[in-house]
Amino acid sequence: MIRREYLKLNYKPDYKNEIITTFYLESNLSLKEAAVKVAEESSIGTWTRLTTLSSRIFKSLAARIFYLNKKKKLVKIAYPLALFEKGSIPQLLSSIGGNIFSMKDIKNLRLLDVEFPKKYITSFPGPRWGIEGVRKILGIYDRPLIGCIIKPKLGLTSVQNAWLAYGVFKNGVDLIKDDENLTDLSFNKFSQRVKKVLSLKRKVENQTGQKKIYVFNVTGPADIMLRRAKLVKKMGARCVMVDIIACGWSGVQYLRNQNLGLIIHGHRAGHAAFTRNKKHGISM
């Protein structure tokens, strides 16, 4: 039966041409049976037999279960790279992080790890700066970078926000960021916050002789997010923040692909909805 052919414990994965996943899996079925259901649903199969699934398609595109550990309830599955659209995290998650979590035969399922071949990784531009770039901008190479978050997270006016940042910067902090839900609010408008914070940031840089970074939260619909990021760049700032779960991976990709030359800081607000349960969800 084709469905059993997903199980290939003697199979040696091709790390150059396959995406490898590691799952924790609990089911009332045997680990083998449950793993087959995960493999088929996340690749080319579904809950029933298909007359349209030819042996040619199966041979070239079926996922392969190559490792089972009954004691630890671990499953490793190899997926042909042809199943995935390069440069698209949303499409990837629709497969290895999609319907498999809602199958009735699966009690608990957690995506623990993903190993990507180089040709998939290089389909993304990656960070424009990275930690080395941030250090270069700040001119700090021999110590940890010290960061701070504005508190209260909501309630300050743009003027109060700016002066608080000024005081924190003056006392030695290198980087200050907006909190996750401070965007463009009636009592603290985004454009005014950018203008006033940057004015005082330049003042404290002149006073201390130290470079500083303020991270402005541009989270929002893609068009608004881009407009805010362009304003940040125009005003002379170097860094923006995106709530990556709220905006989605495509939102982050969209902003990165604009090549604005900004540092993009990711805030993971909301991640615990799928990471807190150690038996179910996705590791992050």
The 3-class SS string of 243-277 reads EHHHHCHHHHHHHHCCCCCCEEEEECCCCHHHHCC
Residue 151 bears catalytic tag: yes
What is the C-alpha separation between 232 and 195, in angstroms, rounded? 9
β partners of residue 64: 78
The two tokens of residue 201 are 């940031």
Residue 280 bears catalytic tag: no
Tell me how far CA of residue 83 lies from CA of 19, 90, 91, in angstroms. Answer: 9, 13, 10
Among the listed residues 37, 201, 212, 267, the single catalytic one is: 267
What is the C-alpha separation between 218 and 129, in angstroms, rounded? 18
Among the listed residues 86, 119, 151, 153, the single catalytic one is: 151
What is the C-alpha separation between 267 and 280, in angstroms, rounded? 22
What is the C-alpha separation between 27 and 13, in angstroms, rounded? 25
Positions annotated as catalytic residues are 151, 267
